[in-house]
A and B are shown apart, each in its own frame.
Chain A
Amino acid sequence: MKTERFDAIRRDFDGEIKAASTEGEVLEIKGRYVGKKRGILRDMMSAIKELPPEERRAYGQAVNALKREMEAVVADALVRAKSAKTAPRALDVTLPGIRPEYGSLHPITRVRREIESIFLSMGYAIETGPEIEDCYHNFEALNTPADHPSRDIQDTFYISDKVVLRTQTSPVQVRTMESRKPPIKIIAPGRVFRRDDDVSHSPMFFQVEGLVVDEGISMAHLKGTLRNFYSRLFGRETEVRFRPSYFPFTEPSAETDLACVLCGGSGCSVCKGTGWLEVGGCGMIDPAVFGFVDIDPERYTGFAFGLGIDRMAMLRYGIDHIRHFFENDVRFLRQF
């Protein structure tokens, strides 16, 4: 009989709570059922005195349990009622969230930071240099004399006879070796300029230059460094291949081919079926360059490498065209 009573109270309570839509209504129901001064449950608890002593304990526990349940239901009902008050109607939780205003970082910035943090963790320093550069640092000290055809490898924007927009980040190598002696272990990220504007080239793009000079540095260290770096950048063990090439400031020189990071080397549209991606030049510092910065080439050896941040970003995010980077279409920018 007591159980029936409990169930009836609970049924009434649930019905009333469900019907209540405002905070006031909920509070009124709460007062009537579980109020400290005049609630129904308080009256039920008072009735405990009329029970035989052996039943009192179980009865008291049952009333308290019911009270706790009702209080929890009331708490939820209050939250619902309050939300309904702040929203124009009962809250539809499937509505889109209200976002804080947040912008985005350019994909080149994002990839540049990833590249930098990999090299920072390998003990490198980051160096920078001017974007307007003199011919001495951009060419001559990099073993590229004025009357040599190697000047033609890069089409140059001139500001005057002796001043150019840097065609590479390599002049930072020279500036660093001028300012301090080995051991040197740096990367130099930055804008570079080539007088070149076609389907796959942009007259401005971003490079990272790497330079390590110390006793006992070899071509094997260069390959190890690049293999480690690319594996970490693309998140999988990645093979690199050296293809002999020519750069005026390195010897031996090589192009770095990377096992295609999309197909793993089996051949796809990105690597044009070759399984390899050409990612940048590298080599051992030419002794002539050491001559310009007064470093003893017998005691020290070093390597240098370059890579395109734009190219890495294209591979990383599947961007199909370099032109997207500098158009600053917000439909592009907001994807990053």
Chain B
Amino acid sequence: MKFPTGWISEYVDLPADEKVAAEAFTLSGSEVEGIESVMGESVFDFGITVNRPDCMNVYGLAREAGVLFDKPLREPESECLESDSAVETLTSVKVEAPELCPRYAARVITGVKVGESPDWMRRRLELCGLRPVNAVVDVTNYLLLELGHPLHAFDMDKLKERRIVVRRARNGEKLVTLDGVERKLDQERLVIADAEKPAALAGVMGGEYSGVTEATTDVLLEGAVFDPINVRRTSKAVGLHTDASHRFERGVDFDAPGLSLDRAARLIAEICGGAVAFGTIDVVSERPPRSPVALRHERLEKVLGMPVAPERCVSILEALKFGVEGKGMGLWSVTVPSFRVDVSREIDLIEEVARIHGYVDLDTPLPGGIDPVGGRPREMTFEEELRDAMASSGCMEAIHMSMSDPGLEAVFDPSVKPVALVNPLSQATSVLRTTLLGRLSVAAAHNRSRGERNVNLFEVGKVFKSNDDGSVAEELRLGALCYSDDPPVVWGEPGPCTLLHLKGKMQSVFERLGVLVSFEAEDHPPFVPGLSLSIRAGDGNPGRLGTLGIAAMAAAGFKGGIAHGCEVILEGLSDAARPPRFTPVSRYPSIKRDMAFLIDKGVQWKEVLASIEGLNLPDLEALKLVELYEGPELPDGKRSFTLSVSFRSESRTLTEKGAASRLDDISRIMEENFSASRR
């Protein structure tokens, strides 16, 4: 909100150094966000918070400056020469909806000649970012900026029966507003009507036909107070946010219309000539209650945590135009000026004292005590350990927006109905993600397009879904994506991550966290059938792992290469994590042998493992796959498995003979179950 300092200085003396003035405004709550020099004039750009409509004008800022710099405030000139004809003989005002319009005041000026407003006024409007229109409209805008109360000017000749009726619109009634748009109204909208039809949308915008033009001779000036909630709803309903609605919805000074109308009438008469009718029509339906607020000095110091002398409190409040009456030791009864619509409680008064007194002297003690719940919850600790484990397995942590493309998510998990945003920024961000893999894949594809041929990413975050009953749910997951596209072999750098590498990462990550994990070959979207697994982690947290299928590769934007992904639900998994349990370490030596078998290609490792484990061999310490070999020198349809088997007892040194008989058992079961011969 821009105001030239020269205009503010008309009402109060500002410090010569504009930086000093700006800093004082900022440190008292009316932030000066920028200082510009426009056409040789200094203009402050204020960021006024929504609770301070009283500072959204020149006079209000001057009032603040008066307190800050201890300078007297000059009153606006508002006396005007009135004619003999009383306003009541020229028009009438009927308020049919007093609940939405507690005050409606009007003045009339007849016989005006509407031309351009004077240069000084046009210039000030422009400095504040408003476009000059004609002298009468400019005066109303000028007053809006100067005293803060929105005024509206009607061309009286356009008003049927030259009178005003403030009423709710009839359902289906129409009004073309000043911006040329036809608005369809209903009874929730308050209108300023003439004897017949709406002439303005109350508090938001005037009607086109009743506005003041160069042809206007008689002007009716409106200065009203409208219900803030109704103005806000109307403004939202018709999609019009105006300087007037901006102020009305924040609340205006109930006592402002009189002064503003007087000063506007004076300026119009000065600029456009004409006669100001005698008197003001002022329909007051309900004055807002304003009861005094009790302020305790002890409470003030307790909340602020610093001493502020009682005399200082009183002088600050009085400078801010509050009425302060002592009610005994450290207790005051404070009356609030009508322009301070934000103040009605003791805490509001405490803030007033604090913002003027300033926080510079505030001490910086630390509060004692610790929270009885305390610390980081177990689930969060688990989440952090998971991140560390994933990073140490070679993946880089990614963080994505939660918003995603519905098409992309549908490819990565067609079974889930996504949560749609009512007001998304774009179609590509119109739903909440239902998978982590979708965005991770897109990120990998972007990285590929920037030349990265080996990308390993993971993310820990929430996904979202719509339930059938219309409710929404969020779920914490781990996602990992490993992509490679024929990466060059580089000294000392790991090669591409295969599907089994990713499976192994998941195994070691979950093992490290004390979570049991198992896999089952099972097809899932978006993976290639046959290259897809189900994961079960902990007590049954499901997940999936596999090689991305062609639809997913295309949806993510890959132009080549191969990607493997994994996604696991983490909700509740921390409860399934078991701390390590010690098992005794044997003092006796182990016997370790390698065994190679020629076996049918169709036999899966899972079956081999199950067969040998089924033997329940005593003292079996480890059974490892050493090598899997296929080659032309082997018989057709066969491959070679090399196993490493080790035995170790906790209680004695094993004999070669004992070990040999167990190796024979293995050979026998391999022969029986798979017709596998030892090589």
Enumerate chain A interface residues (CB-CB to B < 8 A): 95-99, 101-106, 108-109, 113, 116, 120, 122-128, 130-132, 147-150, 152-153, 157-160, 163, 165, 180, 183-186, 191, 193, 195, 197, 202-204, 212, 214, 216-221, 223-225, 227-228, 241-246, 251-254, 284, 286-287, 301, 325-331, 333-334
Determine if A99 and B456 form an interchain contact, defined as CB atoms under 8 angstroms apart: no
Determine if A224 and B393 form an interchain contact, defined as CB atoms under 8 angstroms apart: no
Q: Which residues of A contact B582 (CB under 8 A)?
A: none
Q: Which of B429-478 contact A (CB under 8 A)?
A: 429, 432, 443, 446-447, 450, 452, 455-458, 461-462, 464, 472, 474
**Alpha-carbon separation in the docked complex, A96 to B493 (Å):** 10
Q: Mark B126-147, 1 if CB is under 8 A from A, else 0.
A: 0000000000000000000000
Smallest CB-CB separation from A241: which chain B residue?
B359
Determine if B359 and A223 form an interchain contact, defined as CB atoms under 8 angstroms apart: yes
Known: A109-B397, A204-B401, A246-B51. A216 touches B375 (CB 8 A): no
Determine if B402 and A333 form an interchain contact, defined as CB atoms under 8 angstroms apart: no
Q: Which residues of A contact B446 (CB under 8 A)?
A: 327-329
Q: Which residues of A contact B228 (CB under 8 A)?
A: 147
Q: Which residues of B contact A284 (CB under 8 A)?
A: 303, 347
Determine if B367 and A251 form an interchain contact, defined as CB atoms under 8 angstroms apart: no
Determine if A98 and B457 form an interchain contact, defined as CB atoms under 8 angstroms apart: no
**Alpha-carbon separation in the docked complex, A52 to B374 (Å):** 84
Interface membership of B642, Cβ < 8 A: no
Selecting from B21-29, B539-547, B623-631, the interface stretch reads B21-29
**Alpha-carbon separation in the docked complex, A149 to B374 (Å):** 37
Chain A binding surface SS class: mixed
Closest CB-CB distance, B237 to chain A, in whole Å? Answer: 12
Smallest CB-CB separation from A255: which chain B residue?
B31
Interface membership of B419, Cβ < 8 A: yes
Q: Which residues of A contact B367 (CB under 8 A)?
A: 185, 212, 214, 217, 221, 224-225
Determine if A159 and B303 form an interchain contact, defined as CB atoms under 8 angstroms apart: no
Enumerate chain B interface residues (CB-CB to A < 8 A): 26-29, 31, 49-52, 228-229, 232-233, 249-250, 302-306, 345, 347-348, 350-351, 354-355, 359-360, 362-367, 369-377, 380, 384, 387-388, 390-403, 419-425, 429, 432, 443, 446-447, 450, 452, 455-458, 461-462, 464, 472, 474, 491-494
Closest CB-CB distance, A165 to chain B, in whole Å? Answer: 7
**Alpha-carbon separation in the docked complex, A241 to B302 (Å):** 20
Closest CB-CB distance, A302 to chain B, in whole Å? Answer: 10
Determine if B424 and A328 form an interchain contact, defined as CB atoms under 8 angstroms apart: no
Q: Which residues of B contact A330 (CB under 8 A)?
A: 396, 447, 452, 455, 457
Partner of B422, one of A109, A126, A160: A160
Which 7 pairs, one residue from A and one from B, show the smallest C-beta to C-beta distance? A218-B305, A123-B370, A220-B305, A246-B49, A101-B394, A244-B29, A224-B364
Q: Which residues of B contact A286 (CB under 8 A)?
A: 347
**Alpha-carbon separation in the docked complex, A195 to B494 (Å):** 41
Q: Which residues of A contact B432 (CB under 8 A)?
A: 132, 165
Q: Which residues of B contact A152 (CB under 8 A)?
A: 50
**Alpha-carbon separation in the docked complex, A187 to B424 (Å):** 30
Number of A-B contacts (CB under 8 A): 242
Determine if A220 and B393 form an interchain contact, defined as CB atoms under 8 angstroms apart: no
Known: A101-B394, A228-B364, A287-B347. A219 touches B452 (CB 8 A): no
Partner of B366, one of A216, A225, A326, A329: A225
Determine if A251 and B397 form an interchain contact, defined as CB atoms under 8 angstroms apart: no
Smallest CB-CB separation from B398: which chain A residue?
A328
A132-B472, A221-B367, A334-B396 known; 11 new pairs, CB 8 Å cut-off, are A106-B398, A109-B397, A131-B462, A132-B432, A152-B50, A153-B50, A185-B369, A228-B364, A244-B29, A244-B355, A326-B399
Determine if A245 and B359 form an interchain contact, defined as CB atoms under 8 angstroms apart: no
Determine if B354 and A252 form an interchain contact, defined as CB atoms under 8 angstroms apart: yes
Determine if B492 and A97 form an interchain contact, defined as CB atoms under 8 angstroms apart: yes
Determine if B402 and A244 form an interchain contact, defined as CB atoms under 8 angstroms apart: no
Q: Which residues of B contact A127 (CB under 8 A)?
A: 377
Closest CB-CB distance, B487 to chain A, in whole Å? Answer: 12
Determine if A221 and B305 form an interchain contact, defined as CB atoms under 8 angstroms apart: yes
Partner of A204, one of B345, B373, B403, B493: B403
Determine if A325 and B359 form an interchain contact, defined as CB atoms under 8 angstroms apart: no
Partner of B31, one of A197, A228, A243, A326: A243
Smallest CB-CB separation from B384: which chain A residue?
A113
**Alpha-carbon separation in the docked complex, A274 to B232 (Å):** 37
**Alpha-carbon separation in the docked complex, A153 to B398 (Å):** 30
Determine if A157 and B232 form an interchain contact, defined as CB atoms under 8 angstroms apart: no
**Alpha-carbon separation in the docked complex, A96 to B173 (Å):** 81
Partner of B365, one of A224, A242, A328: A224
**Alpha-carbon separation in the docked complex, A245 to B429 (Å):** 33
Determine if A106 and B397 form an interchain contact, defined as CB atoms under 8 angstroms apart: yes
**Alpha-carbon separation in the docked complex, A214 to B394 (Å):** 45
Determine if B348 and A251 form an interchain contact, defined as CB atoms under 8 angstroms apart: yes
Closest CB-CB distance, A111 to chain B, in whole Å? Answer: 12
**Alpha-carbon separation in the docked complex, A207 to B286 (Å):** 44
**Alpha-carbon separation in the docked complex, A217 to B365 (Å):** 10
Determine if A157 and B421 form an interchain contact, defined as CB atoms under 8 angstroms apart: yes
Closest CB-CB distance, A41 to chain B, in whole Å? Answer: 36
Smallest CB-CB separation from B360: which chain A residue?
A241
Partner of B364, one of A163, A227, A251: A227
Smallest CB-CB separation from A101: which chain B residue?
B394
